[in-house]
């Protein structure tokens, strides 16, 4: 059994679902493992990771709209606003979506569905640099 670990930094332009599939699959392929398990861990409390549809952009837009409705930016609703009116809504959205994913590896490729991609979900309006730890275990 082998293990490999890597950190990637994703610069987000602001709120939204930002696809990270190419950078993740590129690193996984470079490890030369045929079977195993990839764990992705996001080291932030106002962003998330998600496996989601990567063909229809309307899916991403609808998810973004839903998250904004679920945890709206309304300063009357929250006590915590250290970094602005999108601070606490970002934490709420991150509490509802995962910060860690596990994806099986078979035949040297991640076992994603035909229309699935990996996304970093930025919950804040301002650009951020988000760090994701990739840990691959396999052979």
CATH classification at residue 10 = 2.60.120.460
What distance in Å separates the CA atoms of residue 72 and residue 46, rounded to the nearest whole number? Answer: 14
Q: What is the pLDDT of residues 47-91, one digit of tens each?
A: 999 999 999 999 999 999 999 999 999 888 999 988 888 899 999
The pair phi, psi for residue 104, each rounded to 5°, is -65, 155
Give the pLDDT of residue 28. Answer: 98
Q: What is the pLDDT of residues 99-129, one digit of tens each?
A: 999 999 999 999 999 999 999 999 999 999 9
Q: What is the pLDDT of residues 59-71, one digit of tens each?
A: 999 999 999 999 9
- Separation in Å, CA 50 to CA 31, 37, 53, 96: 23, 16, 10, 11
Containing domain of residue 28, as a range?
A: 2-138
Number of domains in the chain: 1
Q: What is the DSSP letter of 20?
A: -
What distance in Å separates the CA atoms of residue 33 and residue 106, rounded to the nearest whole number? Answer: 9
């Amino acid at each position: 059994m082998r293990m490999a670990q890597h950190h990637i930094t994703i610069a987000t332009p602001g709120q939204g679902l930002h696809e990270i599939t190419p950078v993740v699959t590129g690193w996984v392929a470079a490890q030369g493992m045929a079977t195993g398990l990839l764990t992705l861990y996001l080291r932030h409390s106002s962003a998330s990771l998600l496996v989601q549809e990567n063909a229809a952009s309307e899916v991403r837009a609808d998810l973004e709209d839903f998250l904004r409705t679920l945890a709206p930016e309304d300063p009357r609703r929250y006590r915590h606003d250290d970094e602005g009116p999108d601070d606490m809504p970002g934490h709420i959205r991150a509490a509802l979506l995962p910060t860690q994913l596990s994806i099986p590896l078979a035949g040297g490729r991640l076992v994603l569905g035909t229309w699935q991609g990996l996304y970093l979900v930025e919950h804040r309006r301002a650009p951020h640099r988000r760090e994701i730890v990739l840990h691959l275990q396999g052979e």
